Each structure stands twice: as C-alpha cells, then as structure tokens.
Amino acid sequence: MSYQINLNSNNGVAEYNGNVISFVAERDDNDTRLSLSVWFPNWEQDSYVFLPACAYDGNKFEKIDVEYPPMYPKDHCKSNASPIISDVPALNPDGSGKIEVTTGDMSVPCFGVFLKNHKKAFFIFTEQACKGKNIGFLVESGRVTVQFPALRSKRYKMCRTDVPSDDSGISVIKGERVSSKVLIKEFDCKDIPEFFEVFFNNRKCLLCDSPAPNGYTQDLWNIMENHMNNDNFSGEYYAEMSKKWQCGWVGGGMSSLPLLKHGSSLSRERAIKTLDFMTSNVAPSGFFYTMIVKGVIEDDGFGKEHMKNCALVRKIGDALYFLFKHFDVITPKESWVIAAKNCADAFVELYKKYQDFGQFINIETGDIMYGGTTSGASAISALVRAWHYFGDEKYIETARLAGEKYYNDFVARGITYGGPGEALCAPDSESSYAMVESMVLLYEAEKEEKWLRYAKDSLHLLSSWVMPYSYVFPKGSEFARLNINTVGSVFANVQNKHSAPGLCTASGDAIYKLYKYTDKKEYLELLRDIVFFLPQCVSTEERPIFSWDKEPIRLLPGCICERVNTSDWEDRERVGGVFALSGWCETSILLSFSELIWNEEIMKPSGFTLVPNRRRQQATALQKALHFSKLWYNIIK
C-alpha cells in the first residue's frame, strides 16, 4: 500500500523508526507538540474510514441539528429511509471534512482505512497518552495525523461538534527525550469482513492488559437481588429505579429471567408478575407495548407529535426473545404463550410487508415509521426461538431471510446502527451484539456454515467496541480512586461517547457458544474481558461509589451506572465519573450470573470458588443456579 509519513515537532527533530516516534527537546517549553502524518496518494473517495467505537465508514451519513434526545424529523420518516445522525464527529457524505478526536473517544487507539478498489488496508496503533495527555487523531480525506498530545480545534459535546477546545501541548525540559510507541500494519484485503478479522487479531498488539480479577461471589449476587427487590420493583414488575416500564433494551422482561432461575421465592413470584404484566399489555398489532409510566401507555417518540404511537422495534425483539428464554425455566402460562405467538406472528407479517423490521413502528397498526436500520436484529433471534417452540416453518423462514439481509446490509459493510432509541442512526455496539446472537441462533437451527461465518464476522465487528487495555483515569476522579480496570468495558455508540459495564443488554452467552463452535480461544478471552469488568462498577456498602455531583451522592448498594467515561464528551471533570442513577447494566450482571458465571470453563482461569452461604434460602438459590447452569452447559456442549 502506498503511503508517505511526515513528522513534525515544534521543539526538536522528530524521528520514527517503525515502532517508536521520539524527539529530544531543544528548550524548556510548556506547549511542545509532535505529530506523525500519513498521506495516502491512492486514496479513494469511498474509502472505508475506521476509528474503533468512534467512526465506522467515517460516519458519512447526513447530519441534522438536534438536541438530546434526538428524534427523526417528520420528512425523514419512511420505511426505506436513508440513515441520518446528529452532529457527531464525522466526515461529510462525500468524504470531505475532518474528524478530530482523542484516544479517550476510542475503545482502541487506532486508525484504519480500507481502499475498496485497490483491495488494500492500513492500521496505525498508538498508546493512550503522551506524558499524561491523551494522543489525538485528525482524520481528513487522504490523510491521518496522529498528535502527541491531542490538539483539537473543536471538541465534541452531546450532539455538537463546535465546542471550543482548550487542548495544549506537553511540558518538557531542554534535553528531555520524549517517545511514544506507534505500530503500522498494511495488508492486502479483499473485503470489510477481512478488514475486521485482521483488526480483531491485532486489537491487542500494542495495548493489552489483563482483565479485572473475578468479582462474582454469592455475596455480590445477594446484593444485586436485594437491590432489585428493594429498589427496582414497581409493585407490578421489575424495572430500573425509575420504575418506568420499558420492555427489552434496558431490562424489562429480561432481568426477571435470572431472578426466576436463581432467586428467592419472593424474586420468583415477582418475576412471574413481570411476565404477567408484559404479556397483558399488548397492542392490537400483536406487539408488546414498549413504554408504560404510572399505568399510562406512552410511546418512544420523546413527545414528537409526528412520532405518536411509535415503538422501538429492538425493545420488542428483545422482549420476545427473552420471553422464550423464560419458557426454558418455567412452564409458561397459556396467556404468555398466546402473547408470544401473536408477537411472533406480527414480526412475520411486518417482514412480509416491508422486507425489514424497521427501527420505529406504529405500535397500534404495526406499520414501519422509520426503517432501514439494524434495530430488528434481535427479532431474528426471537423468531428462531419461536420456530423451536411452535414448530411453524414461517418463523425460521422469516428469520433466515432477515438474517441474510441484515448481514449483507450492515455487517458486510462494517456498520450497524439503530439499537438505541435515542441515537438515530449513530453506529452502535448494541446492534452489533444482536447480530452475533441472531447469527449464532441461525447456525444452531440450520447447521449451515454460512451462518457461522456471519457470526464470526459480526463478532469481529463487535470487538471494535470493547476496550482491551486499562485506561489511566485522571488523578482525583472517582474511577482513579476505585482503581477501575477498563479491560472489557463496552462503548455504547458514536453519539453517546461513553464506555459501559457490559453488553446492552445481554450476558454475552452467544460469544461463548461461538467459541465452542469454532474453538477460537480469543473469543473466550473477549467474553471474559467483558464479563469480569462488570463487578467493579457495583456500588456496595464496603466499596461505595459516589456521583460527580457538587455534593457527591452515594450510590445505593447494587446500583450500577452506565457511565465509563474515558472521553471528555460530558466535560473534562466528568472523565472517570458517574451520575447517581442505576440502569440496564444491572440486568447485564444478573444475566452474567445466570448464563455464564456458573460455567467452570469461563471462570476457571480466575480461580473462581463458590462458598456455601449459611442462610438456607441463599444456599437453595445457589443450588438452583448450579442445577440450571449444568443444564445450560450440557446444551452448549
């Protein structure tokens, strides 16, 4: 691949030997700057530009000026809509413009480009920081400049890229040698899936730390279960602390599964109530209502009149998929089965009409209001489960057609979007994992190698959202105080620039299945990284976590905030901080307990042991967990 490297320093001569960039300071200075610029003479206008967890195909979508939470304008709402995003760091649709970010905005400090016509690809990897300041990446058409440290002309703050930057250089003394590792990899590449396979195999080439120690214990389970019962039960259903009912996505009809499997008699009773609530709140279309607040059915349109009755498809897909998972644990009530069938039938009809599941549908009529995203990936998994349960070929046929379409439209192009309900078409990790899960389920159902390949390609894309190293947080930040190790934290999307504890919202059990089917140990390693990160973020009596408020609030025991801020997108003082609300991450850790932690193959390297609890009720819950985990493990084997 043809490229040229240019070095620049305002304080001494810069050198690069293929592994390290360095210079020796000629004078004392408080604003020294160093850069390495790579120019590509054969750059193509449609080159695929990549910054892990930050830019996918350069984020080259149409932008709209909108405040958070964003919603699609009326004139964009179509079943075959073109993707649009809020004002996030992005190249223009024609490839012009620039992206200015720091290593804190990325899961892996890396820039990549794939020249589709030349079948050539390029990666450049760096460290996190230079003398304590994050390194920067300036991406323009035909060029990437790595800055030591970051020197953005403007910085990003929620849905805005025009915020003035106060970035400055580093302080040095005369004669001081400053160096930083930089690795470049160029290779022949036939397509986007190969590009991400090479990325997956090299994502730890420069920054690679061990994951946090295993923190899963019986005591932690008890803390989480007590939190769910004391703080997250509305009286009718399990939810987040807000008590708003949202099926799927953030945990409604999902957190009930581990509590049903492993919880106390009280938890089981409440889990059943949760399913009763969800399956009794069904729209005429057959789909579950996605938002209910204090008994009043609401929509997912953030009050926009033109989005009245809209529902996020991903929520319903999640809810139906997990409803079938509940059927594995308990003999379902007839009303649950009827609701499951009606919802599955509605998905079949939706796809038959549009050849898409859409992102937002009219919950009353079942028509697509905004389509063309990956939001419906979880519906594929739900339909595979419907086929297993009901035996009707229409379910697997629809799943098969949608699986092929979604893979070709999104994963094969190196971009998935539409998972969150408040990020428009910003590329996201949630829909990437949903693709992994759906492809694995299709492989299990069909035993066709194509689906296994699609699952691997989806996982390689997903891995780009997962941090492989332990970020150095600012001194004085809450996460520095807690010594949080970020290995395995998962970035949300390119709009909401935070990493997070766990997959939203899943244990990651599909990754384990994929490991078993491929025997690729790196897949198991990725899963361990993700799973082991979560317990660090649980606030407990012995190890409380405090919010970033002026008068810090102590998070309740069992509370997990979704924020793992390595980026300054919410301002510099909030890097390494959290707000005082719980969220979907609590469902992820409960699911990890339920579906993964009892699996010795996953936990063995960490020396995980289970100590019987003296209280009979807790011991019984543990026995249930072990029993169900053995059943699950035998199924996977």
Closest residue by Cα to residue 558 from 532, 575, 537, 528: 537
Closest residue by Cα to residue 575 from 428, 473, 446: 473
pLDDT of residue 598: 80
What are the pLDDT digits (tens) for 262-276?
999 999 999 999 999
Mean pLDDT calculated for residue range 535-544: 98
pLDDT above 70 as % of the chain: 95
311: in domain: no
| Residues in contact with 478: Cβ distance below 8 Å, sequence separation at least 6, in sequence order | 545, 546, 548, 576, 577, 578
146: in domain: yes
pLDDT of residue 505: 97
425: in domain: no
pLDDT of residue 1: 87
pLDDT of residue 597: 87
Calculate the CA 356 to chain-centre distance: 22
517: in domain: no
148: in domain: yes
Distance CA 288, CA 87 (A): 32
How many beta carbons lie within 10 A of that of residue 80, not counting itself? Answer: 12
Q: Which residue has the tokens 């069938």?
A: 341
CB 467 within 8 A of CB 489: yes
Distance CA 4, CA 22 (A): 18
| Helical ranges in 490-551 per DSSP H | 509-518, 521-533
pLDDT of residue 322: 98
pLDDT of residue 284: 98
**Choice between 618 and 65, residue whose per-residue pLDDT is larger:** 65
Helix orientation angle between 265-280 and 313-327, rounded to the nearest 10 degrees: 130
591: in domain: no
Extended strands (E) in 158-224: 160-164, 170-172, 177-188
Query: Three-state SS across 561-594?
Result: CCCECCCCCCCHHHCCCCCCCCCCHHHHHHHHHH
What would the two tokens of residue 254 be? 């999902």
| Helical ranges in 355-502 per DSSP H | 377-390, 393-409, 429-446, 449-463, 478-481
196: in domain: yes
Closest residue by Cα to residue 312 from 303, 299, 324: 299
DSSP secondary structure string for all residues of 259-277: HHHHS-HHHHHHHHHHHHH
Asked if residue 69 has a cis previous peptide bond (ω within 30° of 0), the answer is yes
The HSE-up count of residue 112 (CA atoms within 13 Å, CB side) is: 34
Q: What is the pTM of this model?
A: 0.95
Domain of 115 in residue numbering reads as 4-60+95-202
Closest residue by Cα to residue 467 from 492, 485, 487: 487
What are the pLDDT digits (tens) for 436-447?
999 999 999 999
pLDDT of residue 634: 33
Decide if pLDDT at 616 tops 60.
no
pLDDT of residue 340: 98
pLDDT of residue 609: 37
Mean pLDDT calculated for residue range 77-85: 96
Q: What total of structural domains would you count in the chain?
A: 1
Decide if pLDDT at 613 tops 90.
no
Distance CA 582, CA 559 (A): 5
pLDDT of residue 602: 86
pLDDT of residue 357: 98
The average confidence (pLDDT) of the chain is 94
pLDDT of residue 599: 85
Q: Torsion angle, CA of 479/481/484/490, rounded to 10 degrees?
A: 0
Mean pLDDT calculated for residue range 165-180: 98
Mean pLDDT calculated for residue range 2-27: 97
Mean pLDDT calculated for residue range 540-559: 98
143: in domain: yes
Mean pLDDT calculated for residue range 189-216: 97
What would the two tokens of residue 313 be? 């498809």
What are the pLDDT digits (tens) for 563-577?
999 999 999 999 999
pLDDT of residue 637: 29
What are the pLDDT digits (tens) for 366-383?
999 999 999 999 999 999
Sign of CA dihedral 382, 383, 385, 389: positive
User: Which value, in Å, is the radius of gyration of the alpha carbons in the chain?
Assistant: 24
pLDDT of residue 607: 43
What are the pLDDT digits (tens) for 381-409?
999 999 999 999 999 999 999 999 999 99
pLDDT of residue 633: 32
Q: What are phi and psi of 246, to 5 degrees?
A: -135, 115
What are the pLDDT digits (tens) for 130-162?
999 999 999 999 999 999 999 999 999 999 999
